[in-house]
Protein backbone atom coordinates (compact mmCIF):
# COMPACT_ATOMS: atom_id res chain seq x y z
CA UNK A 1 0.00 0.00 0.00
CA UNK A 2 1.72 3.13 -1.20
CA UNK A 3 1.91 6.71 -0.03
CA UNK A 4 0.41 8.20 3.08
CA UNK A 5 -2.09 5.36 3.47
CA UNK A 6 0.62 2.75 3.82
CA UNK A 7 2.48 4.98 6.26
CA UNK A 8 -0.66 5.67 8.27
CA UNK A 9 -1.60 1.99 8.43
CA UNK A 10 1.91 1.04 9.50
CA UNK A 11 1.95 3.77 12.15
CA UNK A 12 -1.27 2.48 13.69
CA UNK A 13 0.02 -1.09 13.52
CA UNK A 14 2.77 0.02 15.91
CA UNK A 15 0.41 1.35 18.58
CA UNK A 16 -2.49 -1.11 18.54
CA UNK A 17 -2.45 -2.21 22.18
CA UNK A 18 -1.70 1.27 23.55
CA UNK A 19 -4.37 2.87 21.37
CA UNK A 20 -6.95 0.24 22.33
CA UNK A 21 -6.27 0.70 26.04
CA UNK A 22 -6.53 4.50 25.78
CA UNK A 23 -9.70 4.69 23.71
CA UNK A 24 -11.75 1.62 24.67
CA UNK A 25 -14.02 3.76 26.88
CA UNK A 26 -13.38 7.06 25.09
CA UNK A 27 -16.99 8.18 24.79
CA UNK A 28 -17.60 7.78 28.51
CA UNK A 29 -15.68 11.04 28.98
CA UNK A 30 -16.94 12.76 25.81
CA UNK A 31 -20.65 13.46 26.25
CA UNK A 32 -21.06 15.50 23.06
CA UNK A 33 -19.55 12.82 20.84
CA UNK A 34 -21.56 10.15 22.65
CA UNK A 35 -24.77 12.11 22.09
CA UNK A 36 -24.10 12.42 18.38
CA UNK A 37 -23.36 8.69 18.02
CA UNK A 38 -26.58 7.89 19.85
CA UNK A 39 -28.52 10.26 17.60
CA UNK A 40 -26.91 8.78 14.51
CA UNK A 41 -27.89 5.25 15.57
CA UNK A 42 -31.46 6.32 16.30
CA UNK A 43 -31.83 7.97 12.89
CA UNK A 44 -30.31 5.00 11.08
CA UNK A 45 -32.77 2.70 12.83
CA UNK A 46 -35.58 4.92 11.56
CA UNK A 47 -34.48 4.36 7.95
CA UNK A 48 -35.26 0.64 8.43
CA UNK A 49 -31.84 -0.18 6.95
CA UNK A 50 -29.83 -0.98 10.05
CA UNK A 51 -26.65 -2.01 8.28
CA UNK A 52 -23.88 0.44 9.19
CA UNK A 53 -20.15 0.73 8.68
CA UNK A 54 -17.70 2.10 11.24
CA UNK A 55 -14.98 3.35 8.89
CA UNK A 56 -11.55 3.67 10.43
CA UNK A 57 -12.85 1.48 13.23
CA UNK A 58 -9.54 1.05 15.04
CA UNK A 59 -9.89 -1.50 17.86
CA UNK A 60 -13.63 -1.81 17.23
CA UNK A 61 -15.04 -0.16 20.35
CA UNK A 62 -17.45 2.07 18.42
CA UNK A 63 -18.45 -0.78 16.13
CA UNK A 64 -19.50 -2.66 19.25
CA UNK A 65 -21.34 0.42 20.53
CA UNK A 66 -23.31 0.69 17.27
CA UNK A 67 -24.19 -2.99 17.60
CA UNK A 68 -25.42 -2.40 21.16
CA UNK A 69 -27.52 0.50 19.84
CA UNK A 70 -29.37 -1.85 17.52
CA UNK A 71 -27.45 -1.55 14.27
CA UNK A 72 -26.07 -4.34 12.09
CA UNK A 73 -22.60 -2.82 12.38
CA UNK A 74 -19.25 -3.84 10.95
CA UNK A 75 -15.85 -2.18 10.98
CA UNK A 76 -13.33 -1.21 8.31
CA UNK A 77 -9.76 -0.04 8.91
CA UNK A 78 -6.57 0.48 6.94
CA UNK A 79 -4.45 -1.01 9.74
CA UNK A 80 -4.13 -4.80 9.68
CA UNK A 81 -3.11 -4.72 13.33
CA UNK A 82 -6.22 -2.81 14.34
CA UNK A 83 -8.46 -5.19 12.38
CA UNK A 84 -6.80 -8.20 14.02
CA UNK A 85 -7.28 -6.67 17.48
CA UNK A 86 -10.91 -5.79 16.76
CA UNK A 87 -11.65 -9.34 15.62
CA UNK A 88 -10.19 -10.73 18.85
CA UNK A 89 -11.98 -8.20 21.05
CA UNK A 90 -15.35 -8.52 19.31
CA UNK A 91 -15.49 -12.00 17.73
CA UNK A 92 -19.20 -11.78 16.96
CA UNK A 93 -18.72 -8.75 14.70
CA UNK A 94 -17.22 -8.38 11.23
CA UNK A 95 -14.07 -6.37 10.58
CA UNK A 96 -12.35 -5.87 7.21
CA UNK A 97 -9.01 -4.38 6.22
CA UNK A 98 -9.74 -1.81 3.51
CA UNK A 99 -9.11 1.75 2.39
CA UNK A 100 -11.78 4.38 2.90
CA UNK A 101 -12.02 5.08 -0.83
CA UNK A 102 -12.34 1.37 -1.68
CA UNK A 103 -14.96 -0.06 0.65
CA UNK A 104 -15.80 -3.79 0.42
CA UNK A 105 -19.51 -2.93 0.20
CA UNK A 106 -22.06 -2.99 -2.60
CA UNK A 107 -23.43 0.34 -3.81
CA UNK A 108 -26.42 1.59 -1.85
CA UNK A 109 -26.18 -1.18 0.74
CA UNK A 110 -25.88 0.80 3.98
CA UNK A 111 -28.22 2.80 6.14
CA UNK A 112 -25.35 4.53 7.88
CA UNK A 113 -21.62 5.29 7.91
CA UNK A 114 -19.79 6.43 11.03
CA UNK A 115 -16.45 8.16 10.45
CA UNK A 116 -15.21 9.02 13.93
CA UNK A 117 -11.99 11.03 13.42
CA UNK A 118 -11.03 8.50 10.73
CA UNK A 119 -10.74 10.97 7.83
CA UNK A 120 -8.31 13.26 9.64
CA UNK A 121 -5.25 11.63 8.06
CA UNK A 122 -6.56 12.06 4.51
CA UNK A 123 -4.77 14.88 2.61
CA UNK A 124 -7.22 17.57 1.46
CA UNK A 125 -6.80 16.75 -2.23
CA UNK A 126 -7.86 13.14 -1.57
CA UNK A 127 -10.80 13.79 0.75
CA UNK A 128 -13.39 14.26 -2.06
CA UNK A 129 -12.77 10.73 -3.34
CA UNK A 130 -13.17 9.34 0.18
CA UNK A 131 -16.48 11.16 0.63
CA UNK A 132 -17.68 10.03 -2.78
CA UNK A 133 -17.07 6.44 -1.71
CA UNK A 134 -19.12 6.89 1.46
CA UNK A 135 -21.98 8.22 -0.65
CA UNK A 136 -21.68 5.26 -3.02
CA UNK A 137 -22.21 2.70 -0.26
CA UNK A 138 -25.11 4.59 1.35
CA UNK A 139 -28.68 3.90 0.33
CA UNK A 140 -30.81 6.94 -0.57
CA UNK A 141 -31.70 8.58 2.73
CA UNK A 142 -28.72 6.91 4.43
CA UNK A 143 -26.76 8.85 7.04
CA UNK A 144 -23.13 9.83 7.53
CA UNK A 145 -21.80 11.01 10.89
CA UNK A 146 -18.31 12.39 10.51
CA UNK A 147 -16.21 13.74 13.38
CA UNK A 148 -13.02 15.73 12.91
CA UNK A 149 -10.85 18.49 14.32
CA UNK A 150 -12.06 21.94 13.32
CA UNK A 151 -10.09 25.10 12.69
CA UNK A 152 -11.29 28.69 12.44
CA UNK A 153 -9.14 29.57 9.43
CA UNK A 154 -10.15 29.42 5.78
CA UNK A 155 -8.04 26.37 4.85
CA UNK A 156 -7.25 22.93 6.28
CA UNK A 157 -4.32 22.88 8.68
CA UNK A 158 -1.78 20.04 8.72
CA UNK A 159 -0.55 19.07 12.17
CA UNK A 160 1.56 16.39 13.82
CA UNK A 161 -0.91 13.90 15.23
CA UNK A 162 0.64 11.51 17.79
CA UNK A 163 0.32 8.58 15.38
CA UNK A 164 0.45 10.01 11.84
CA UNK A 165 0.21 13.43 10.14
CA UNK A 166 -3.35 14.78 10.21
CA UNK A 167 -5.49 17.75 9.16
CA UNK A 168 -8.02 19.98 10.84
CA UNK A 169 -10.76 21.54 8.72
CA UNK A 170 -12.89 24.69 8.59
CA UNK A 171 -16.37 23.30 9.26
CA UNK A 172 -18.04 25.27 6.46
CA UNK A 173 -15.49 24.01 3.95
CA UNK A 174 -15.98 20.43 5.08
CA UNK A 175 -19.75 20.83 4.72
CA UNK A 176 -19.21 22.14 1.18
CA UNK A 177 -17.29 18.97 0.33
CA UNK A 178 -20.12 16.88 1.73
CA UNK A 179 -22.57 18.74 -0.51
CA UNK A 180 -20.34 18.27 -3.55
CA UNK A 181 -20.29 14.52 -2.82
CA UNK A 182 -24.11 14.38 -2.72
CA UNK A 183 -24.89 14.76 0.98
CA UNK A 184 -27.20 17.20 2.73
CA UNK A 185 -25.91 18.35 6.12
CA UNK A 186 -28.72 18.78 8.64
CA UNK A 187 -26.91 18.92 12.00
CA UNK A 188 -23.54 20.02 13.29
CA UNK A 189 -22.13 20.15 16.80
CA UNK A 190 -18.94 22.10 17.48
CA UNK A 191 -17.44 22.27 20.95
CA UNK A 192 -14.32 23.14 22.88
CA UNK A 193 -11.32 20.84 22.48
CA UNK A 194 -10.93 17.62 24.39
CA UNK A 195 -7.16 17.61 23.89
CA UNK A 196 -4.14 19.87 24.19
CA UNK A 197 -4.03 20.56 20.45
CA UNK A 198 -6.48 23.44 20.78
CA UNK A 199 -8.61 22.58 17.77
CA UNK A 200 -12.35 22.50 18.19
CA UNK A 201 -14.14 19.16 17.90
CA UNK A 202 -16.75 18.96 15.14
CA UNK A 203 -19.47 16.38 14.52
CA UNK A 204 -21.50 16.67 11.33
CA UNK A 205 -24.60 14.65 10.40
CA UNK A 206 -25.53 14.45 6.73
CA UNK A 207 -28.00 12.49 4.63
CA UNK A 208 -27.63 11.10 1.14
CA UNK A 209 -30.05 12.52 -1.43
Residue 19 has pLDDT above 80, yes or no: no
- What average pLDDT does range 3-24 have in this prediction? 74
Report CA-CA distances (Å) from 137 to 61, 132, 134, 209. Answer: 22, 9, 5, 13
> What is the set of domains in the chain, with CATH numbers?
3-23+31-208 (3.40.50.150)
> Quick one: pLDDT at residue 36?
97
Q: pLDDT-based confidence at 181, cuts 50/70/90?
A: very high
Residue 2 has pLDDT above 60, yes or no: no
> Quick one: pLDDT at residue 29?
77
Residue 40 contacts by C-beta under 8 Å, 6 or more apart in sequence?
112, 114, 143, 145, 205
Average pLDDT, the chain: 91
What distance in Å separates the CA atoms of residue 24 and residue 59, rounded to the nearest whole number?
A: 8
Residue 3 has pLDDT above 70, yes or no: no
> Quick one: pLDDT at residue 95?
98
pLDDT digits (tens, 9 = 90+) for 52-91: 999 999 999 999 999 999 999 999 999 999 999 999 999 9
Q: Find out whether 100 and 56 touch, Cβ atoms under 8 Å.
A: yes
- What average pLDDT does range 182-186 have in this prediction? 98
Q: pLDDT-based confidence at 27, cuts 50/70/90?
A: confident
Sign of CA dihedral 116, 146, 41, 38: positive
- What average pLDDT does range 155-160 have in this prediction? 93
Q: pLDDT-based confidence at 160, cuts 50/70/90?
A: confident
> Quick one: pLDDT at residue 6?
67
What distance in Å separates the CA atoms of residue 106 and residue 201, rounded to the nearest whole number?
A: 31
Long-range pairs for 4-7 at CB < 8 Å and ≥24 separation?
Answer: 4/121, 4/123, 4/164, 4/165, 5/78, 5/99, 7/164
What distance in Å separates the CA atoms of residue 77 and residue 138, rounded to the nearest whole number?
A: 18
Residue 157 has pLDDT above 90, yes or no: yes
Amino acid sequence: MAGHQGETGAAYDEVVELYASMFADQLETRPFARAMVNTFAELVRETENRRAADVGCGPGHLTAMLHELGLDAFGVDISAGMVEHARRAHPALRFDEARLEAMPVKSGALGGVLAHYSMIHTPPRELPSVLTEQVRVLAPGGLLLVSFFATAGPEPVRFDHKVAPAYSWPVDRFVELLAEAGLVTFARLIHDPASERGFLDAHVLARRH
